[in-house]
Amino acid sequence: MKYFSRTQVVEILSIEESFLVMLEQEEIVQIDAQDTAADAHYSEMMLERARVADNLVHELDVNLAGVAVILQMRENLADLRHQLEAALNELREHKR
């Protein structure tokens, strides 16, 4: 799994570091690995969550509570999609 430093996340997403810190405080994104406070690392999933949060806040004017709900719903939908695909594959295999 690839990890990104705080500086990399800020640069990749073109966001303010204070916004990323705020997302951490609201537990919308979480540090996955940390050697020191200055060396926080974020997974690709957290990078994507920060990207979506930035779009929701700055493009759609969604508050952070709404961002948390939307992100959770997106993840639940993705999980359900994977479960449905697995069930369909199992049915296909069973028919053979």
Domain 3-95 has CATH 1.10.1660.10: yes
Query: pTM score, two decimals?
Result: 0.83
Confidence of residue 34 (pLDDT cuts 50, 70, 90): low
- Is residue 49 within 8 Å of 31, Cβ to Cβ? no
Average pLDDT over all residues of the chain: 93
User: What pLDDT was estimated at residue 35?
Assistant: 57
Where are the strands (E) in 2-85, listed by range? 3-5, 33-34, 40-43
User: For residue 65, which phi and psi values (nearest 5 degrees)?
Assistant: -65, -40
> Which pLDDT score is estimated for 40?
76
pLDDT of residue 61: 98
Q: Does the CA dihedral 12-17-19-24 come out positive or negative? A: positive
Percent of the chain with pLDDT over 90: 84
Residue ranges covered by each domain of the chain: 3-95
Task: Say whether pLDDT at 90 is over 60.
Answer: yes
Q: Is the pLDDT of residue 57 over 70?
A: yes
Residues 33 and 46 sit within 8 Å (Cβ to Cβ): no
